[in-house]
Amino acid sequence: MTAMNGVIVRVQGVHKRFGHLEVLKGIDIDLHKGEVLVIFGRSGSGKSTLLRCVNFLDDPTEGTIEVAGVRLSGGHRTRRKREQIRQLRAHVGMVFQQFNLFPQMTTLENVMVGPMCVKGRDKDAASARAHELLEQVGLGDKADEHPIRLSGGQQQRVAIARALAMQPDVMLFDEPTSALDPELTGEVLSVMKSLATDMHMPMMVVTHEMGFAREVSDRMAFFHEGAILEQGPPAQIFGSTQFAETRRFLDAVL
């Protein structure tokens, strides 16, 4: 896959501190339209924190983040900044390790609720779109089921449909298969691959699934102790890594 022209996410000079602990140490990275960026590295290296900063679930301590033309600086929130964060989040869909579905709602209702409550869509339009998205993720026959009756892989596919229902310009995936049994991982990765190849959805994916990274990603970024140690296309990362730390990590997970 080749990234289309244009930058959809731009991260510049981003630091994140929790007290005296600096988790991100000056991150600079772009995501282009149509591009799949896989972020990988050891636990605690700052990968998930970066995604949370892109969506302003965590406020960067320093630096700037721009998503689909909405540009925000790190630091304290003000009333104006809270509104800007709301605008930025309207362009972003995020899928977490845990599925976070509403247990009292059916699968269909879980996908409908965002467009109705946030975007003011009428019930019929939201329902029609939700049915389409459930079909897209292979769950058209599960519309009336509650999450408790779904497997973990099915619940995560509902979570993807729910994020897509908000019509995001970019999707963020934070280790979306880490809570799944190995036999269920493939069905979620298959949906993500379809998003990349069929919809050309820009995606930032934190994952240890190196098979997915090799096959689907345009670019990989290796995080080490809060910084990007190395980045490049999969062929470069897998075939001729420049740093021993990257090779040790790959040898451990491959």
Helix/strand/coil for 169: coil
81-120: pLDDT as tens digits:
999 999 999 999 999 999 999 999 999 999 999 999 989 9
Answer for the pair 56, 124: CB distance below 8 angstroms, yes or no. no
Query: CA-CA distance, 24 to 16, in Å (whole number)?
Result: 5
Query: CA-CA distance, 140 to 109, in Å (whole number)?
Result: 13
Please tell me the predicted confidence (pLDDT) of residue 94: 96
Please tell me the predicted confidence (pLDDT) of residue 183: 87
Please tell me the predicted confidence (pLDDT) of residue 164: 97
Please tell me the predicted confidence (pLDDT) of residue 88: 96
Query: CA-CA distance, 210 to 233, in Å (whole number)?
Result: 13
The three-point CA angle 8-10-15 to 5° equals 150
Please tell me the predicted confidence (pLDDT) of residue 2: 40
1-55: pLDDT as tens digits:
444 459 999 999 999 999 999 999 999 999 999 999 999 999 999 999 999 999 9
Please tell me the predicted confidence (pLDDT) of residue 32: 97
Strand ranges of the sheet holding 227-232, from the earlier edge strand across to the other edge: 92-95, 170-174, 203-206, 36-41, 219-224, 227-232
DSSP 97-156: SS----TTS-HHHHHHHHHHHHS---HHHHHHHHHHHHHHTT-GGGTT--GGGS-HHHHH
Strand pairing partners for 92?
170
Strand ranges of the sheet holding 7-18, from the earlier edge strand across to the other edge: 21-32, 7-18, 62-67, 70-73
